[in-house]
Amino acid sequence: MTDSPLTTPIVFLLGPVPVTLPVVVTWGLMAAMTLGSALATRRLRVERPGRVQTVLELVVETLRRQIAETMQADATPFLPLLGTLFLYLAVANLSGLVPGLKAPTAFLETAAALALVVLLASQALGIRRRGLWPYLKGFAHPTPLLLPLNILSELTRAFSLSVRLFGNVMSGEFVIAIVLSLAGLFVPVPLMALELLLGLVQAYIFTVLAAVFIGGAVGTIEKG
């Protein structure tokens, strides 16, 4: 662990495009998640579902319910985006605990990319649900004087999203790496358990905040 945690290692170059470690790990996670989903949903049954199907249904239904409670609206249209956000974040955060792997979310680029997706998605969904002019007029609410501040708050919210995620995951991994290098093999285990919890909590917080931002943009709840 001599590398700075703030540097993004390049695995290979794809023409002019540098393919970095978080991208490669993300591809692996994508493949695993897609393959797992395809296998798990291969033989779904209405009557007497199996254990795997029950867990899947529980996860999907819980996600939908949480999103609906947060957005105060029907969650089905937002489930693919926000559900995938939570699942990817949870898997990505926990992947850091696998020896030899580094969580993609421990890199600022991944957190920034996710925050950017949430920012753009909330703008696009807001415009689609409310219309361009009423949505844009919302930035000048309650007074046009607040227009720059509202635009700034929109950007800073996305920025804070990405920094919070990156900071938490990166610092956790960094602390574990330091303790591991100083104390030995089994000493970081409690810290790793804490990191496991922390990863899930961060995924939950990021997803809930994204749901709040999108809910505020589409007008189902007050803008935060």
Partner 1 sequence: MHIDGWTILLQAVNFLILVWLLRRFLYRPVLAVIAERQAATERVRSEAEAARQAAEAASRSLEDQRAALPAERDRLIAAARAEAEAERAALLDRARIEADHALEEARNRLADERAQALGALQRHAADLGTQLATRLVRDAPCGTLTRPLLEEACAAVEALPADRRHALGDGTEPVPVRLAAAGPLPDEDVAHARDRLAAALDRPVALELTEDPSLIAGVELHFAHSVVRRSWKQTLAEAKEEMTRHDSARTDAGALA
Could you list the residues that contact partner 1 (CB under 8 A)? Answer: 6-8, 17-20, 22-23, 26-27, 30, 33-34, 37-38, 40-41, 44-46, 49, 53, 56-57, 60-61, 76, 79-81, 83-85, 87-88, 104, 107-110, 112-114, 116-117
Q: Which is nearer to partner 1, 22 or 215 (CB)?
A: 22
Q: Which is nearer to partner 1, 49 or 138 (CB)?
A: 49
**Nearest approach, Cβ of 186 to partner 1 (angstroms)?**
33
Q: Which is nearer to partner 1, 81 or 211 (CB)?
A: 81
Q: How far is CA 48 from CA 35, 45, 56, in A?
A: 23, 7, 14
**Nearest approach, Cβ of 48 to partner 1 (angstroms)?**
11
Q: Which is nearer to partner 1, 79 or 194 (CB)?
A: 79
The strand pairing partners of 14, in sequence order, are: 17
CB atoms closer than 10 angstroms to residue 170? 20
The strand pairing partners of 12, in sequence order, are: 19
Residue 93 phi, psi (nearest 5): -60, -40
**Nearest approach, Cβ of 187 to partner 1 (angstroms)?**
30
Task: Give pairs for 130-133: CB < 8 Å, separation 24+.
Answer: 130/218, 130/219
**Nearest approach, Cβ of 92 to partner 1 (angstroms)?**
10
Q: Which is nearer to partner 1, 33 or 194 (CB)?
A: 33
- Give me 48's structure tokens: 């007497």
Element (H, E) at 125: helix 108-130
**Nearest approach, Cβ of 15 to partner 1 (angstroms)?**
11
Q: What secondary structure letter does DSSP report for 174?
A: H
**Nearest approach, Cβ of 121 to partner 1 (angstroms)?**
9
Reading phi first (left if > 0) and then psi (alpha if -120 to 50, else beta), residue 223 is in beta
Q: Which is nearer to partner 1, 50 or 190 (CB)?
A: 50
